[in-house]
Chain A
């Protein structure tokens, strides 16, 4: 199957700093990527849909100025958590949409963010 990488796999940062997470589709082109967040013992929650060459579409309740998404090429989307605070500590995972009609998605391994 298609491979999606995510970098870094974990990051610890100080409160107030910004953190960038990269999501890459390694062996296919992805016009659409998705960013999810998972809180402990909860399901994956969609944060935003990232479209190559256009603005991301954010889900209700997700601050677009807080979570900046850039999908500059067909193989790379980035999520920047700006001015991170401890409540932003979470597991962030991206996926890239394959070409099928049923929206099959290929997931990265995720990034564990801890904000001190």
Chain B
């Protein structure tokens, strides 16, 4: 998996707004997809590991869906809070391959 895209590149929302962003990847040779949250000056933190087409994972106000046939995953944040401000990275994994990280979506939640 070489070509990983994330959109938008950056996003500014007001506190309380819900938002979503996209990770696109080649659908062939798909094995798993990881979402990470990376706050400034901290280590990237794993959010979800998704493996099956149609997977939907949820962690608090954050959820993610996966479509392996068309090669995309959506990350949703409901009722955004300032502490959600971070860069969200997706990393699809092909069989026998290492991660390829997307460029990230930088989210800023304004109080």
Contacts and interface: CB of A to CB of B under 8 A. Distances in A.
Interface string B20-50: 0000000000011010100001111110010
Nearest to B9: A41
Contacts of B102: 43
A54 interface: no
Interface in B75-111: 89, 93, 98-104
Given A49-B98, A102-B34, A107 B103 contact: no
A6 to B, nearest CB: 8
A82 B72 CA distance: 40
A63 interface: no
Given A42-B103, A43-B103, A44-B89, A103 B43 contact: no
A107 B44 contact: yes
B93 A44 contact: no
Contact of A102 (B4, B42, B51): B51
A96 to B, nearest CB: 11
A102 B42 CA distance: 23
- Contact-size category for A: 20 to 34
A45 B103 CA distance: 10
A61 interface: no
Interface string A22-63: 000000000000101000011111100100000000000000
A92 B89 CA distance: 16
Interface in A76-116: 93, 95, 100, 102-110
12 contacts: A1-B45, A43-B89, A43-B103, A44-B101, A46-B98, A49-B98, A93-B43, A100-B49, A102-B93, A105-B46, A106-B46, A107-B43
Interface of A: 1, 4, 34, 36, 41-46, 49, 93, 95, 100, 102-110
